[in-house]
């Protein structure tokens, strides 16, 4: 009798387990399939991204060779495909290189549009702020002070990698707009700020000396020449591993302006 009861209970448990399996098995299978599909999707995306980065790296290097050889038109055209559809980092760099070429040819409005496009395409703040700083430099001698101030103030802050350079350029813009005393205060604050380079501190102190001696227009002349200078070569190194471009601490657009 005991054996019979145990056998009945075992059959009931088996039927219960079979019912649960029939009920939940489709969900388990669907979950497994979704996991596999998701893994394959991630793997496929990574492979596609790595292939695109590799192709963009080769194309960017070829364009840089043409640029170094003095073929401005050929280099501009070589950067164009990367600027249209390259990976974000290379796309931003290609747009900035095209902007540099246009700026060197005296085509400021085209250069400005390309720098603004590079800022929008940038994958991170380092690339984006570099493009925005260069765009602000382009309009230093042509745009109203209010427009220059808006561009530069957006680059000032602890979370912005070119905050000190933006502050220096903003002080120069104030000086150029005839706001000599405001500019003097900014230069003085900059000279006392921790983290400024020796060159930046020397420029700030030199500007203060010129303002105090009544020769502020001389500083303004330097500011007006800033937009015609080429970018620092170190600031435009292609990031093969997604790292930010190499940049010397005193080779910024603001630094070159002096």
Q: Verify that 118 and 167 share a domain, yes or no.
A: no
Contact 89, 123 (CB under 8 A): yes
Q: Verify that 93 and 166 share a domain, yes or no.
A: no
Q: Verify that 93 and 171 share a domain, yes or no.
A: no
Q: How far apart are CA 43 and CA 48, in angstroms?
A: 9
Q: Verify that 95 and 180 share a domain, yes or no.
A: no
Q: What is the pLDDT of residues 132-149, one digit of tens each?
A: 999 999 999 889 999 999
Q: Verify that 52 and 92 share a domain, yes or no.
A: yes
230 pLDDT band, cuts 50/70/90, is: very low
Q: How far apart are CA 45 and CA 99, in angstroms?
A: 31
Q: Verify that 63 and 104 share a domain, yes or no.
A: yes
Q: Is 186 left (phi over 0), alpha (psi -120 to 50) or beta?
A: alpha
Tokens, residue 251:
């080779």
Instruction: Examine residue 177 and state whether it is found in any structural domain, yes or no.
Output: yes
Instruction: Examine residue 91 and state whether it is found in any structural domain, yes or no.
Output: yes
Instruction: Examine residue 118 and state whether it is found in any structural domain, yes or no.
Output: yes
Instruction: Examine residue 109 and state whether it is found in any structural domain, yes or no.
Output: yes
33 pLDDT band, cuts 50/70/90, is: low
Evaluate if residue 244 carries a pLDDT over 80: no
**Which residues span the domain enclosing 60?**
1-123
Residue 215: alpha-carbon gap to chain centroid: 37
Q: What is the pLDDT of residues 61-94, one digit of tens each?
A: 999 999 999 999 999 999 999 999 899 999 999 9
Q: How far apart are CA 177 and CA 255, in angstroms?
A: 20
Q: Which of these, 183, 191, 106, 109, lies nearest to 152 by C-alpha position?
A: 183
As a whole number of angstroms, the longest Cα–Cα distance in the chain is 116
Tokens, residue 102:
């246009």
Q: Verify that 95 and 10 share a domain, yes or no.
A: yes
Q: Verify that 159 and 113 share a domain, yes or no.
A: no
Rg (CA), the chain: 29
Q: How far apart are CA 252 and CA 258, in angstroms?
A: 10
Instruction: Examine residue 232 and state whether it is found in any structural domain, yes or no.
Output: yes
Q: What is the pLDDT of residue 19?
A: 67
Higher pLDDT, 209 or 32: 209
pTM for the whole structure: 0.69
Domains contained in the chain, number: 2
Q: Verify that 2 and 91 share a domain, yes or no.
A: yes
Evaluate if residue 5 carries a pLDDT over 70: no
Q: Verify that 90 and 174 share a domain, yes or no.
A: no
Evaluate if residue 115 carries a pLDDT over 60: yes
Q: What is the pLDDT of residue 215?
A: 78
Instruction: Examine residue 142 and state whether it is found in any structural domain, yes or no.
Output: no
Instruction: Examine residue 136 and state whether it is found in any structural domain, yes or no.
Output: no
229 pLDDT band, cuts 50/70/90, is: very low
């Amino acid at each position: 009798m005991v054996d019979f009861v145990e056998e009945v209970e075992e059959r009931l448990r088996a039927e219960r387990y079979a019912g649960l399996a029939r009920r939940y098995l489709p969900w388990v299978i669907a979950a497994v399939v979704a996991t596999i599909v998701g893994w394959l999707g991630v793997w496929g995306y990574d492979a596609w991204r790595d292939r695109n980065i590799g192709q963009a790296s080769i194309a960017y290097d070829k364009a840089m060779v043409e640029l170094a050889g003095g073929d401005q038109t050929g280099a501009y055209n070589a950067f164009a495909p990367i600027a249209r559809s390259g990976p974000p980092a290379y796309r931003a760099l290609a747009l900035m290189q095209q902007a540099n070429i246009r700026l060197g040819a005296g085509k400021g409005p085209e250069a400005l549009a390309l720098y603004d496009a590079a800022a929008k395409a940038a994958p991170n703040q380092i690339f984006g702020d570099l493009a925005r700083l260069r765009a602000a430099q382009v309009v230093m001698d042509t745009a109203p002070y209010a427009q220059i101030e808006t561009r530069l103030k957006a680059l000032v802050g602890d979370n912005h990698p070119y905050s000190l350079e933006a502050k220096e350029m903003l002080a120069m813009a104030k000086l150029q707009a005839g706001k000599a005393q405001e500019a003097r205060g900014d230069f003085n604050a900059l000279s006392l700020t921790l983290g400024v380079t020796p060159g930046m501190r020397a420029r700030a102190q030199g500007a203060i000396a010129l303002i105090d001696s009544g020769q502020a227009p001389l500083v303004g002349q330097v500011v007006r020449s800033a937009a015609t200078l080429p970018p620092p070569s170190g600031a435009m190194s292609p990031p093969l591993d997604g790292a930010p471009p190499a940049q010397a601490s005193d080779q910024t657009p603001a630094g070159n302006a002096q």
